[in-house]
Amino acid sequence: MPVKERKETVEKAREAGVKFIQMQFMDILGTVKNVTLPVERLERALSEGVFFDGSSVLGYATVEESDMRLIPDPRTFTVLPWTNGNLKTACMVCDVYDHKNNRFEGDPRYALQKLSERARKEGYVFNTAPEYEFFLLRLDESGKPTPQPSDLGGYFDLMRDRGDEIRKEIVLHLSKMGFEVEASHHEVSPGQHEIDLRYADALTSADRVMMMKYTTKLIAHRHGLFASFMPKPIYGVNGSGMHTHMSLMSPDGTKNFFYDPKGKYQLSELALYFIGGLLRYAREMCAILASSVNSYKRLVPGYEAPVYISWANRNRSAYIRVPSGRELRTRVELRSPDPAGNPYLQFSVMLAAGLRGIEEKIYPPEPVEKNIFRMTPEEKRELQIEPLPSSLGEALECMERSKLVREALGDHLFEHFLYIKTQEWESYRSQVTDWELQNLLPIL
């Protein structure tokens, strides 16, 4: 890192009155990791890094190769607005290096950096804007989260919305950190909320998602509630998704490559190829986009979550939707991802699939504007509409055969993710549930 950049970052911390620096990164599943340094240690951290035990981080390294280093990215320096005085703290997102001082192939951020750089070499900046849904849940007497929602509000409700003040506080803090928030509101289910981040390049967007989840949990805790990004914590209601809007822009931001005023639906051929790639590889990347056994409780008919692989301009039952904005606002919305996953890996496979669609000129089928859930099996077969995997186990089988996902993530992330998630699936499917005991035990 250039000396000038290091000194500018140190000066920025000094002028802000910062006393501590949180060095943050993510494990393979998307859990935020952190080590806190006194600000006096910042310059040394910028030049030499911060050493840590990689074998203690899920999906990182073995004991034999555990010496790893965090190098903070100065561009991510952000003061945490809820801290002050002698506890005033800033955070920085870090890149991970291995014991040989090479970028660590198991760093999820590195996977997205490599793909984003590949897109830039082709003239594209991959922008994403995630819509994050989450539940605010009550705590029991011991302080543990319960599946009881914080309120009984519904979509866009105000009078029954206990989370209104909490969302405003979250948005206020995000704004102070320089994050642009499009909107926030109560979602369909009791206790369910949504915060929409404004477009940014995918790496910046993923960094912000990490910080947004941390901020959301912190503010909810201060209000005596638990913020959960579990896709479906409550039976019988809509689950939480992470609808992701995406586009390919020119480096100067003046051209949206998805827009063509003379194209079909005012979409460029490149946009259609990108959609074609997302559709072609939907099953293969499903385990990354919906990475928990619980994700597949959300991806079921009747709850506004996609089950079938199709695209549309207006149909919200589709896997991909193209919202109405055009020109610079032209974008594609992918509706299957959920907020429990790792955003670096999620954005990586989205970009990889879209770029492959452009490379192979994968033209999508015609959009399906009818409600797919009401179609007969014959109608779906006629339109060649395939389903998404119905379980994590099925999704992992599709991923295991995928050259695209392996290339996008690299061997380390690919193999470790498969191993960890296969363990989760095997543990889950061997459980005897309350439903079985209540419904089957009395009659079998």
Are residues 418 and 399 in contact, defined by beta-carbon separation less than 8 angstroms? yes
Domain boundaries defined on the chain: 3-104, 113-435
**Quick one: how far is CA 63 from the chain centroid?**
29
So what's the pLDDT on residue 64? Answer: 55
Task: Give the 3-state secondary structure of residue 83.
Answer: coil
Quick: pLDDT tens for 391-418: 999 999 999 999 999 999 999 999 999 9
So what's the pLDDT on residue 379? Answer: 84
Quick: pLDDT tens for 193-216: 999 988 999 999 999 998 999 999
Q: How far apart are CA 120 and CA 332, in angstroms?
A: 19
Q: How many CB atoms lie within 10 A of CB 115?
A: 24
Q: Is the dihedral of CA 154, 237, 239, 216 positive or negative?
A: positive
Correct CATH for 113-435 of 3.30.70.2700, 3.40.50.2300, 3.30.590.10, 3.40.50.720: 3.30.590.10
- For residue 145, the cross-strand partners are 139
- pLDDT band of residue 1 (cuts 50, 70, 90) is low
Sequence-distant (6+) residues with CB within 8 A of 33 are 24, 25, 26, 27, 57
Are residues 308 and 387 in contact, defined by beta-carbon separation less than 8 angstroms? yes
- For residue 245, the cross-strand partners are 129, 333
Q: Are strands 320-321 and 308-309 parallel, antiparallel or unpaired?
A: unpaired
So what's the pLDDT on residue 370? Answer: 81
Q: Is the pLDDT of residue 316 over 90?
A: no
| Residue 35 phi, psi dihedral angles, 5° rounding | -130, 135
Place of tokens 């290091």: 6
Quick: pLDDT tens for 368-399: 888 888 888 888 888 888 999 999 999 999 99
Q: Is the dihedral of CA 411, 416, 419, 425 positive or negative?
A: negative
So what's the pLDDT on residue 61? Answer: 67
CATH topology of domain 3-104: Ubiquitin-like (UB roll) (3.10.20)
Nearest 10 degrees: Cα torsion 211, 217, 219, 222: -150
Angle value at C-alpha 41, between 35 and 43, nearest 5 degrees: 115
